[in-house]
Every structure is written in structure tokens, then in C-alpha cells.
Amino acid sequence: MLVEIERNDAVGVVTLNRPSARNALSRELIADLAEALDALERDAAIAAIVLTGREVFCAGADIAEMRGIDLATALAEDFSGCCDRLASCTKPLVAAVEGYAIGGGCELIEMCDLVIAGASAKFGHPEIALGTLSGGGGTQRLARAIGRARAMDLVLTGRLIAAAEAERIGLISRVVADGTALAAACEAAVQVAAHPMHAVRFAKQAVDRAVSVGLADGLALERRLFHLSFAAGEFLPRLEQFLARRGPVR
């Protein structure tokens, strides 16, 4: 299974389980993640959800899988390379990050409500180096989280930042010692789950509304531009260069 579910009383733990590819977001993994979230949303006993990754959190979209996508395919599938299902989850989501949360992985944490990271974790949006941009909300949610100037810095340079800087600029909630992010995230989820469920849901909706006015239009624009990058003549050659440097993934 590419995604595992564990239920600990009122907390559901979802683990991305593709460590050989640093939990890259293949179509299959994205579908499995959406299915896992659906199952936990339906489970009345679950009040909060923790999202984590085996060995590392998530190093982004499955670049090798994107090799065969052209503009027509991107448009027909409304392809994003990420799991948008997190954004519509009504139960609180707590991300536990060790290692990398970059590209699509960074988009995942931007859809979560709390993000707790190990001190050595790295964050960023390096898509620009491949000749494309985020397709799963990275430009829109990032700017809302950290402001235009800082978002422009990360998106246009493609640089990665450490957990301490990510916390300082407001991208993540807390930094903990390496190897303890999952335990800290589960502890936070237990605290959330202990509160009245309707109050938690209402509070989550209220905060989301405060920072997402106009988000739908921004997301639609980002997706169109992402799709167009498949036809601009820059993305696929750089993708091939990247895959040649990286070598095969088991």
C-alpha cells in the first residue's frame, strides 16, 4: 500500500508509504491518499487527522510520471501533481514533517491546519528550475501564509529553507527535535480531538475563510498556467535533464 491508515482512538494517522521515491506523489499515491482521507472523514470516531511520510515527508510530484504529460493530457485530467483532497477535509489536519516537504510536498503542508517539523526538515517550491510552477495551490496558499514578498522569494528563486526559517516566516507551526515530529503531531491532534467536535469544525472554517477569500480564482489561474507550462517548451527538456542526473528510482 502506498498510503497506510492507523487509528489511535480519536486520531487517524495517514502515512505516505513510498520511501524509495521519497514519497513522490504518483497518480496512484494521490488516489490512495484521497481514499484514506475519505475513509477517515466518514469515520465518526475520528476527530483529527495526522499526515506524515515514511522516512521523509514528501519530495514533491512524481517527476518521472510527468514525462508523458502534454498540454492536452494536463487539461483533460485537470492534472495538478498533488492531492487537492486535503483542502476540502473538514476534520483538522496536522502534518508531521521529517526530511523534505518540497514542491508538491510543500503544497500538502500548505493545505494542513498545523505543521510540526523536525529541525532538519527542508521546505520550498523548486518547480521553477524545471520550467514550470506549482499546480496544486503552491503559489496561492503560500502567498496567503507568508505574504507576497516572501512567497516571491521562494517561488522565483526555488531555494529551500530550513525548519527554523519556515517557522519564523509563518509557513509552519512548530519546530521540534529531529525524529520527534510524529509524536508531537499526534500529541497536538489529541489536544484538538479533546475539544467539542462542532466547535473545532466551526473554528477551522472561520480561520480558513479569513485567509482564503478569492482563493478559488487564484487556484484556477495557477492551474491554467501550470498546464500551459507543458506546452511552453521548457519543462519537458529540463525534466529529462533532472531524471538523467537522478538515475532510476526503485
Report domain extents, the chain: 3-194, 197-246
Annotated catalytic residue 60 = no
Which residue of the set 12, 104, 124, 136 is catalytic? 104
- Give the mean pLDDT of 19-43: 96
Which residue of the set 127, 136, 163, 222 is catalytic? 127
Express as a percent the part of the chain with pLDDT over 90: 79
- Give the mean pLDDT of 190-200: 94
Q: Is residue 184 over pLDDT 60? A: yes
Annotated catalytic residue 104 = yes
Nearest to 27 by CA among 59, 67, 65: 65
- Give the mean pLDDT of 112-138: 96
Nearest to 100 by CA among 92, 109, 112: 109
Annotated catalytic residue 55 = no
CA distance 56 to 221: 31
Which residue of the set 36, 53, 105, 107 is catalytic? 107
Q: Is residue 24 over pLDDT 60? A: yes
Q: Is residue 248 over pLDDT 70? A: no
Mean pLDDT is highest, among 172-176, 232-236, 245-249, for: 172-176
Give pLDDT, residue 175: 98
Q: Is residue 249 over pLDDT 80? A: no
Instruction: Enumerate residues 6+ apart whose C-beta is below 8 A from 22.
Output: 55, 56, 58, 59, 99, 100
CATH no. of 3-194 = 3.90.226.10
Q: If you average pLDDT over every residue of the chain, what do you get?
A: 94
Give pLDDT, residue 1: 87
For 22-26, 112-116, 220-224, which range has the lowest pLDDT when averaged over its residues? 220-224
pTM given for the model: 0.91
Annotated catalytic residue 127 = yes
At 58-85, the pLDDT tens digits run 999 998 888 888 899 999 999 999 999 9
Q: Which amino acid is at 40?
A: L
- Distances in Å between the alpha carbon of 75 and those of 46, 72, 183, 223, 228? 35, 5, 40, 9, 9
Q: Is residue 115 over pLDDT 90? A: yes
